[in-house]
A and B are shown apart, each in its own frame.
Chain A
Amino acid sequence: MKAKVYVTIKQNVLDPQGSAVQGALHSMGFGEVGRVRIGKYLELELETSDRAEAETRLKTMCEKLLANTVVEDYRFELEG
């Protein structure tokens, strides 16, 4: 089974990388760009066919290591 994990900085937390990219896009003439947020995308191969178990374990992985829940949100998708 394949898991796609998305980690993003919480909405109320400053994202300097996103702001810098927004500024660059504006200076390139893409003035229509509003807020930009940059996050992380992770692909994990899971050797299990038990979807419920995979979800539980992924949640634990996210909360312990993949995201810092003080400043980041996470979500994941399971495929297969």
Chain B
Amino acid sequence: MKFAVLVFPGSNCDIDCYKAVEDTIGQEVDYVWHTATDLSAYDAILVPGGFSYGDYLRCGAIARFAPVMSEVVKAAEQGKFILGICNGFQILTEAGLLPGALLRNSGMQFRCHSALLEVVNNATPFTNQFAKGEIVDIPIAHGEGNYYCDEETLAKLEANGQVVFRYKAGANPNGSVNGIAGICSERGNVVGMMPHPERAIDQLLGSEDGKRMFTSILNAWRERHGAAVNG
């Protein structure tokens, strides 16, 4: 299985994502520059956190028009696995691959700490190694992670099981509607989340709950490609 970690000017979690793939599942992984025009070699695309294009205008607004993004849209249509983390989540909503938008945190503070999340949907390619309802510890670090969508979209997300992670009851750090921390596309192959699983892959980092997001992806890919795949 082969991973792409997209790199925009201003990405700063790209190395963490690359290392997380290497360290947790030992699969092939490449950095792919924002000007790339071909992602056909990759099975999974990680859109990392950071401040793409300085977050000028709005978080993710400019990155969404980078050449590589039309390839990401294509890959999403093909059913490939796409995970946007933090700024990556903002980029995926700007690109229309996920509904809604991320607003400034309701408390105005940049929140940077570990966060307890409830696994709401464990049937996505990114969460199959978790139990439904399990509480996991994955850190957040964002100033604009307040997920917002209109009521109609929210009802649809909840009804379709597209809410993947929710902040643990009573611990919503940013004012997100229904405490939403991460969502997926209707098909489930595109996930966006504000917390950083790539920063929770070892107890030295405070938690290794993020590990299972990477093992989930490999597991989903193997299931899709049959048990004959080794490595």
Q: Which residues of A line the B interface, CB within 8 A?
A: 9, 13-14, 16-17, 19-20, 40, 65-66, 68, 70-71
Q: Is the CB of B148 within 8 A of A13?
A: yes
Identify A68's interface contact among B65, B94, B105, B150, CB under 8 A: B94
A9→B65 CA distance, assembly (Å): 22
Residue of B nearest to A65 (CB): B61
* Complex contacts, B61 vs chain A, CB 8 Å: 65, 68
| 5 additional A-B residue pairs with CB within 8 Å, beyond A13-B103, A40-B57, A70-B149 | A16-B107, A20-B108, A68-B101, A70-B99, A70-B101
For the complex, is B161 an interface residue (Cβ under 8 Å from A)? no
Identify A16's interface contact among B99, B101, B104, CB under 8 A: B104
B: contact size bracket: 20 to 34
* Complex contacts, B146 vs chain A, CB 8 Å: 14, 16
A14→B147 CA distance, assembly (Å): 11
Within 8 A of A (CB), among B24-51: none
- Mostly, the B contact residues are loop
Tell whether A16 pairs with B65 under 8 Å between CB atoms, given A66-B57, A68-B58, A70-B149: no
* Complex contacts, B148 vs chain A, CB 8 Å: 13-14, 70-71
Tell whether A14 pairs with B175 under 8 Å between CB atoms, given A65-B57, A70-B149: yes
For the complex, is B106 an interface residue (Cβ under 8 Å from A)? yes
A14→B105 CA distance, assembly (Å): 10
* Complex contacts, B107 vs chain A, CB 8 Å: 16
A14→B94 CA distance, assembly (Å): 19
For the complex, is B54 an interface residue (Cβ under 8 Å from A)? no
Tell whether A65 pairs with B65 under 8 Å between CB atoms, given A13-B103, A70-B100, A70-B101: yes
Identify B108's interface contact among A9, A17, A40, A68, CB under 8 A: A17
Residue of B nearest to A67 (CB): B58
A9→B148 CA distance, assembly (Å): 12
Tell whether A16 pairs with B106 under 8 Å between CB atoms, given A65-B65, A70-B149, A71-B148: yes
Residue of B nearest to A23 (CB): B108
> What are 19 A-B residue pairs whose CB atoms fall within 8 Å in the complex?
A13-B148, A14-B148, A16-B103, A16-B104, A16-B107, A16-B108, A16-B175, A19-B108, A20-B108, A65-B57, A65-B61, A66-B57, A68-B58, A70-B93, A70-B100, A70-B148, A70-B149, A70-B150, A71-B103
